[in-house]
Structure 1
């Protein structure tokens, strides 16, 4: 079912991407120098390649910032994992102690004065 839904969503996206690539295959000049009429560094690529490159760069930069933003959460997960392992070890150590004898007397709580 998931495969069907995924193809239902991705198929129209693929069609749009292919149509974009076919319709925008004319070369354009990409320059990083906005002040010079004849820039030193420029590259001529098809428009769809520039668009796809910009989308890919946005995905990579967004992923990096998302990963950096989750640093505190990852730190808490590691800290809690260490605490869980410590407590599990302590629980296992305490389980090795012998339980009290079946007939052992427990302290008499009725002899204590009632709390006020």
Structure 2
């Protein structure tokens, strides 16, 4: 319940800001990929400014996520190795345990 309230407190103002940004920046602006001939119609497109702003924001989030994922690869590898080691040790422990009956199982865990 608390997480739902916090989500509402964060997402509602964020949505209002995003909608206000989109409404305030709806004028068409040119975006060109040719720095030497900006008037080249083949490499120029016109869209509302908020489209470019949101695209830049999304691209930044994706690049940041990928960079974080690569930087944390070392820790994921260590966790995977340790998980395999724990599984191996559990299997070795289970293989070394003698087959016990119900009466010996109670005495084994009491000490």
* Greater C-alpha radius of gyration: 1
Structure 1, residues 51-101: CA drift from partner, whole Å, max 9, x if none?
A: 001101111111111111111111111111110011001111121278xxx
3-state SS of 2:29 partner: strand
User: CA separation in 2, counterparts of 1:74 and 1:5?
Assistant: 30
- Match of residue 38 from structure 1: 39
3-state SS of 1:43 partner: strand
Residue 74 (str. 1) matches residue 76 (str. 2)? yes
Task: Kindly state the Cα deviation for residue 30 of structure 1 after the two structures are TM-superposed.
Answer: 0.7
Give the TM-score normalised by the residue count of structure 2.
0.81
2:87 to 76, 79, 85: 85
- Match of residue 55 from structure 2: 53
- Match of residue 26 from structure 2: 25
User: CA separation in 2, counterparts of 1:64 and 1:29?
Assistant: 29
Name structure 1 gaps, 5 residues minimum: 99-116
* Structure 1 range deviating more: 21-30 or 37-46: 37-46
Task: Kindly state the Cα deviation for residue 33 of structure 1 after the two structures are TM-superposed.
Answer: 2.0
Give the TM-score normalised by the residue count of structure 1.
0.78
Name structure 2 gaps, 5 residues minimum: 101-111
